[in-house]
Chain A
């Protein structure tokens, strides 16, 4: 990776951190995906956040939902594959109790992702999100980063979860 690409990734990561902080996010629970490794590193190094690495994506849903009930702004950060494992938790907690939640995911399986093991996400990720009527925003440029804040605030108005998908073009 050349220096300019590394610098760009770092800048994007910091801009996302700034956006999350401006929303009032204090707690971030994460599981890694290669595309968000720079973002997670930036979150971990940022004193504005308490970063809790979890070992199962559902745990991030539980943790952030509890944080909301304590008035603590939070976000869950994970890959698309991890997101596909949390549908039960989201429907049981965030829909049943109407608890807001912002989740940032990677838009795996979209054109530009050369990993064949993400084909299933390309085929089914959006369909699953639509099936549970979850407001869904794609951010694929730096200019779109403020959409993260809009999605966070909408989750509070809507009293349900929202998801923002970050693309390879944005992150890599």
Chain B
């Protein structure tokens, strides 16, 4: 499925989830689909840490739900993170692995062994039980509710098989936030919603 079509559909189906995007294309596609500047943290250039970042949030807030996007290029740099996620087993976090078989932010350079990597099998071998994979918009429509249902026990890993960004998609705008603005936009929204104190003072 086209990367942008997948994210447009996810954006439509999202309800109250907080979203963490990874470096590169997922931030561009999510920004294009949502223009969300408060309930999404665009963690640019994090190289494999988006789901760990989301895990830190989700751990402290079991009543809130979180989605974290990670490209397979980032995943392949630190697949051990999935073992940590499995050990934490947070039911309020969905790890979306955006599999385009390429380093999308760097001109779609090839990932080593990209064609043969079976990310779902890796997740199951680590011990994850809630593993889903979607390779078309129709399949996503049919299966997403089961994958991201609110009260499912345990950590959820969803593989989204997408095409690499096209030349036109590569031109999508990057989320236009400097780091501190992103921190405060997200943090203030999180404070208002969750009642948590993050910064030590309220505006």
Interface set of A (CB-CB < 8 Å, partner B): 26-27, 50, 52-56, 58-59, 61-72, 74, 88-89, 92-93, 95-99, 156, 159
Closest Cβ neighbor of B54 among chain A residues: A66
User: Which of chain B's residues have a CB closer than 8 A to the CB of A65?
Assistant: 49, 53, 56
User: How far, in whole Å, are A97 and B50 apart by their CA atoms in the complex?
Assistant: 14
Chain B residues within 8 Å of A27, by CB: 56, 59-60
Q: How far is the CA of A7 from the CA of B98 in the complex (A)?
A: 50
* Residue of A55, A59, A96, A159 with highest tally of chain B CB at under 10 A: A59
User: In this complex, what residue of B is CB-closest to A93?
Assistant: B46
| Whole-angstrom CA separation of A70 from B59 in the bound complex | 9
In the complex, residue of chain A having the shortest beta-carbon distance to the beta carbon of B81: A59
Which residue of chain B has the shortest Cβ distance to A99 in the bound complex? B183
Is chain B's binding surface mostly helix, strand, loop or mixed? helix
Most buried by A among B46, B53, B83: B53
Partner of B56, one of A58, A62, A89: A62
Assess the A62–B52 pair: CB atoms within 8 A.
yes
Cross-interface CB contact of A66 among B45, B53, B84, B197, cutoff 8 Å: B53
Mask: chain B, 57-80; 1 = CB below 8 Å from A; 0 = not: 111110000000000000000101
Answer whether residue B198 sits at the interface, using C-beta atoms and an 8 A cutoff.
Answer: yes
A69-B183, A97-B180, A97-B183 known; A59-B56 Cβ under 8 A = no
CB–CB A98/B183 < 8 A: yes
Tell me, rounded to whole Å, the shortest Cβ–Cβ distance linking B63 to chain A: 11
In angstroms, Cα B57 to Cα A27, docked, is: 11
A62 contacts B46, C-beta separation under 8 Å: yes
A56 to B196, CA, bound (A): 29
Supposing A59-B52, A62-B52, A88-B47 touch, asked if A69 and B186 sit within 8 A by C-beta, the answer is yes
Complex CA distance for A66 and B183, rounded to whole angstroms: 11
Question: B187: which A residues are within 8 A, CB to CB?
Answer: 69
Shortest CB–CB separation between residue B42 and chain A, in angstroms?
10
Residues 157-203 of B at the A interface (beta carbon under 8 Å): 179-180, 182-183, 186-187, 190-191, 194, 196-198, 200
B179 touches A97 (CB 8 A): yes
How far is A98 from B182 in the complex, measured between Cα atoms in Å? 10
Residue in A54, A62, A67 whose CB lies within 8 Å of B60: A67
**B115-142 interface code vs A (CB 8 A; 1 in, 0 out):** 0000000000000000000000000000
Given A54-B84, A62-B52: A70 touches B45 (CB 8 Å cut-off)? no
Minimum CB–CB distance for A160 against chain B, Å: 11
CB distance from A103 to the nearest CB of B (A): 14
Min distance, Cβ A81 to any Cβ of chain B, angstroms:
17
User: Considering the chains assembled together, what is the distance between the CA atoms of A61 and B43 in angstroms?
Assistant: 13
Task: Assess whether B179 is in contact with A63, with CB atoms less than 8 Å apart.
Answer: no
Tell me, in angstroms, the Cα distance from A99 to B44 when the chains sit together: 14
Q: Would A93 and B55 be within 8 Å (CB), given that A52-B84, A67-B60 are in contact?
A: no
Determine which residue in A69, A72, A89, A93 has the highest number of CB atoms from chain B within 10 A of its CB, and name it. Answer: A69
Indicate whether A68 sits within 8 Å of B198 (C-beta atoms), given known contacts A52-B87, A58-B78, A93-B43.
Answer: yes
Q: A97's closest neighbor in chain B, by CB?
A: B179
Smallest CB gap from B184: residue in A: A98
CB closest residue in chain B, given A89: B49
**With A67-B60, A69-B190 as given contacts, are A92 and B80 in contact (CB-CB < 8 Å)?**
no
- Write out the residue numbers on chain A whose beta carbons fall within 8 Å of the beta carbon of B58: 66, 70
